[in-house]
């Protein structure tokens, strides 16, 4: 086990969901592609990179600006959400190692989810994975004043677990989420969903299925 990982003895662990616990980013891509296509616009990797990790309101606002539909944010948001909930319900799968890691940590340490998705989408994703009852706290973007990259989601999750954020670890896949966890004063383990040459987490792993990570979880 690496020294950096072995030294982590957190009071609590808080997970992101999309792209970290659940492979929902392809589902969001399907929904976002459909919204762009309805306006005759292409949607590829460059466009996808604009939205990774962003909250749904922030995504809808950016889309409204791109589409020249400023003022139509609410309708765009409803369009995206209606599509993505259906795709997640039928297609989303857990990320490699996610279920094993959660099951190892659950009896050993307080764990939570802090997601930039709204509650309706988050509940569908966790239910699809069979994780609805696995966490001591679950906080969604529409339940805090400021979503990621603000610290509110992580601070709320730690408060609900009864652990200090400064003594807890966040698992994140996006730079937006890492910024949120760092702003909350947490140690951050990154599992990037996109290729980031300089991912700003304290420790970066290729996957939640990393054997050393599972050994670490068993040692807590």
For the annotated catalytic residues, the residue numbers are 16
* Helix and strand totals (H; E) in the chain: 10, 6
Locus of tokens 């939570």: 112
For CA atoms 186, 28, 71, 175, give the dihedral sign: positive
The contacts of residue 99 (CB under 8 Å, 6+ apart) are 129, 130, 131
CA distance 108 to 12: 10
CA distance 100 to 177: 22
* Count of residues in the chain: 220
DSSP structure string for 24-62: -HHHHHHHHHHHHHTTT----HHHHHHHTT--HHHHHHH
């Amino acid at each position: 086990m690496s020294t950096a990982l072995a030294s982590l003895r957190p009071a609590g662990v808080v997970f992101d969901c999309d792209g970290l616990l659940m492979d929902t980013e392809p589902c969001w891509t399907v929904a976002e592609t459909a919204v762009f296509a309805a306006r005759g616009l292409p949607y590829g990797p460059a466009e996808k990179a604009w939205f990774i990790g962003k909250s749904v309101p922030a995504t809808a606002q950016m889309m409204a600006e791109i589409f020249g539909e400023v003022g139509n944010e609410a309708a765009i948001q409803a369009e995206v959400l209606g599509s993505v909930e259906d795709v997640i319900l039928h297609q989303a799968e857990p990320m490699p190692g996610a279920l094993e890691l959660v099951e190892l940590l659950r009896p050993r340490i307080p764990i939570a989810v802090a997601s930039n998705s709204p509650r309706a989408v988050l509940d569908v994703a966790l239910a699809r994975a069979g994780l609805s009852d696995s966490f001591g706290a679950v906080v969604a973007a529409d339940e805090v004043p400021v979503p990621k990259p603000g610290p509110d989601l992580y601070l709320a999750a730690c408060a609900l677990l009864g652990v200090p954020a400064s003594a807890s670890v966040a698992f994140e896949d996006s730079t937006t989420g890492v910024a949120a966890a760092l702003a909350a004063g947490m140690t951050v383990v990154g599992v990037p969903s996109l290729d980031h040459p300089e991912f700003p987490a304290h420790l970066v792993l290729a996957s939640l299925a990393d054997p050393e990570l599972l050994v670490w979880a068993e040692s807590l």
